[in-house]
Each structure stands twice: as structure tokens, then as C-alpha cells.
Structure 1
Amino acid sequence: MRKIVAGLFMSLDGVIDSPENSPKKWGNAEIMARIAEGVAKADAVLLGPQTYQFLAGFWQHQTNDVPMAKFLNNSPKYVVSQSLDTLDWQPATLLRGDFVDEIMKLKQQPGLNIQVPGSPTLVRSLLREGLLDELNLNICPVVAGSGMRLFEGMEEPLNLKLVGSKGYSNGVLAVTYQIAKS
């Protein structure tokens, strides 16, 4: 079965949508190499509508000599959205309604991991539904103070198993957790 793997930048206080902990600010060459390693283990992308539009606005105009552009431009993209009607950045499939069944079908298909870059609202939904298998967090050495928190609204305990960690020269701590299934 394929794994769904999410990757996010997060402040020390759990905020995931602040300019203070953005990939632009903290994503140095070391961290981008780590992200590229994860992407090499994936062959599909799962996105929420805002992240899809944000990434499409930049990456579809990049050439495939950049590994991330090659991955994002050529991989099938599955977009969970009730608000989008069309997806111009292809190949892409819109998942509407009960996305849980659709994602379970994707996990059953042969292939590599399904990567979730960003998409914090979707990541929280995947966690609540028990669909996320691995969480890669780049914890930035900053307290954002306010903003969307990754685990906000989680009503059930979530057991995680640390399977990797590494500190970087810019102070970012990269951690990888497997989601413990009950």
C-alpha cells in the first residue's frame, strides 16, 4: 500500500501559515536537499485548493531541469476541493465530496508515496481520518505567536513515532514521524 507523506514548515509554537516560518525564509540548500530526497520516493501529489493554486502559479512556469519542477509538473496531482471547478495545471484530478474513499483508492493503487506539500487544512483532515502515514516537519527557530496551528481542532490523541531527526545550520530542526495506527 502506498503511503501518504506530508511535509510542512512550522514555528516552535506550531504555527504553519506564517511568513516567519516560510520555506522562502528557512528553506536553505540543506533543507531543500532533504525535501528532494522525499520527493524522489513519491510519484503523486495530494493538495488542497489554496496550495494547488499557489504552487501552480510558480512551478508550472519552471523548467524541468529543476528536480522539484520536474516532479510537480509531471506527477499526477489530486486536488481535494469543493471550491475549484477546473484544474489548469495538469495532470490533475479534482476530488470532491467524500474524499476519504477516493484517497483510500489512491493508496491501494500501485506506486510510490503520495506527497502532500503544505496544504495544512488537508493535512489536518488526513490526520483526523487516519489517512496520513508520515509527517515531515521542518521546525523553524521562531515563535510566530499567532496563525493557523497544525494540530488545532484535533479532538483525539495522536500517537507519533519519531523515525528521523536532523538539525541544520540555520537552526531548523527537521523531524520525521510515522503516524501510529490504532
Structure 2
Amino acid sequence: MASLDLNQFQTLQEQFKRLSVIAEQRDHDGEYNAYQLLGKDDERFRCLSAHFTDYVKELLTDLEHLKRLATKTDDHDLLRLYADRLCGKYMMLQKCLERLRPTETKKQHVIFWQKQLKKVINNGDLGELYDKLAQQKQFEQRLSEQIDQLIIDLKRSEHIAASAALQEQILELKQRQGRCQKATWQLEQKINHLRSRF
């Protein structure tokens, strides 16, 4: 077959396997829902999973289907059409996973804040706990306002790419809000525990 040779199939398979490693890491981090970012708005993927690895498996299945098709037909236009679709799905998944890489600065900031919070909770200083609780509630309030604004922007959005980006931002902020609420709850529990001792 002239349009797609075995070397090209091998190259694609290797690229998909490399992507699979990144997908496994994102699934392991547990911060993002693949369906929210891919399956819901992109009809090219049949997969309706919350896990990125399932989308990579779909790519590998499609590649096997294309290999079998290449042995059964000499219709190069048909084969090129399937190959282009497959590459389009691959590029979309790759770009999505690359966008989700947390920056070192952001990770360091979150880690620093978590350490500070743990230190305050373990310390048991009631005044400091109240200060941190007030900060947490302000942060929660800001996140809620940002989410509300993005939802308004999403309702007004008329472009698919812009809507997808807004949905991604909303999802990320909601996840941060969930972690923030958990930290607030821990602070409140510690404060209640300390107050019950007096």
C-alpha cells in the first residue's frame, strides 16, 4: 500500500503509547475529568469515559482497525480519510493533555499553602485558626464569584473552542473549590475541638 506503510503504523503506535503514559499520570492525579474536556464536546471520540487512558485505548483500537482495512482495500482516498481522522483525534487528545500540565509555580504555591495550613491546624492556636478560616472563606467566595462569571460567559459564548476553554476553566475552579471546602471543614473541626476543651 503506497499511502500508509508499516513504518508509519509503527510510528503512530509508539506515539500513542507515549501519550498513554501521560494519560495515566493525569488519571492518577485525579484532578480532571476526561469526559468533561473531551467526550462531551467532541463527537470524534466514541469513548464517554472520565479517564484519559480510555481515549488512548480508543486511538489504539482505531489504529488496529486502520491496519486491517489497509490489508483489505487499495482505495487510498478512503485509507487517507481514516488516517487523517485518527491523527486529528490524536492531536486533540495530545493538546488537551499538554494543556493540563500544572506549572511548577502553581504547584509550589499550593504545596506551600497546604503546609502552612497543616502547621496552623497542628499548632492549635485558636486565634490563628480563626484567621486562617477567614482567609479560607474569602478564597472560597472569590472562587464562587469566578465560577459564576465564567458560567455567564459560557452561556453567552457562540464559539465551540471558546466554550470548551471556558468549561475547562470552570471544571478546574470547581475542583479547587472542592479542595478549599475540604480545608475549611478541617479548620472548623479543629476549632470546634479546641473550643470544646474550654
Q: TM-score range by the shorter chain?
A: under 0.3
Superposition TM-score, scaled by structure 2 size: 0.23
Largest Rg, 1 or 2: 2
